[in-house]
Amino acid sequence: DAKTTQPTSMDCAEGRAANLPCNHSTISGNEYVYWYRQIHSQGPQYIIHGLKNNETNEMASLIITEDRKSSTLILPHATLRDTAVYYCIVYSYGQNFVFGPGTRLSVLP
């Protein structure tokens, strides 16, 4: 079973920030938080990952709480092309990725 809990769906207005939450209250000290997204009819696409510190790349920012029990993926200026299912995964070396059902983000014009 997935070690993460995410809302089933979310809406976001185009141009606004999309904040996608993820709970991982049983995360261990050596486990990373990974985010992937899957646009309809495509394979999942890597977005970002982190361990303890907040991370930012050209796609998104990842905010991890100090106790590491939850995180938020931020898409700073959502576009219609960001409409997808977003998966939060807890991973450590030697494990396999376990995907939950994810959050279906709809970016609305």
Stretch that binds another protein, among 11-19, 52-60, 74-82, 91-99 (CB under 8 A): 91-99
If one asks whether residue 29 binds another protein (CB under 8 A), the answer comes out as no
Q: Residue 89 corresponds to which amino acid? A: I
Considering only residues 46 to 85 of the shown chain, the ones binding another protein according to CB under 8 A are 46, 49, 51, 85
If one asks whether residue 99 binds another protein (CB under 8 A), the answer comes out as yes
Q: Which is nearer to another protein, 28 or 97 (CB)?
A: 97
- The least CB distance from residue 43 to another protein, in Å, is 3
- Separation CA 106–CA 8 (nearest Å): 11
Q: Residue 81 corresponds to which amino acid? A: R
Q: Taking Cα atoms as reference points, which of 57, 88, 58, 84 lies closest to residue 70?
A: 88
- 79 in Cβ contact with 69 (< 8 Å): no
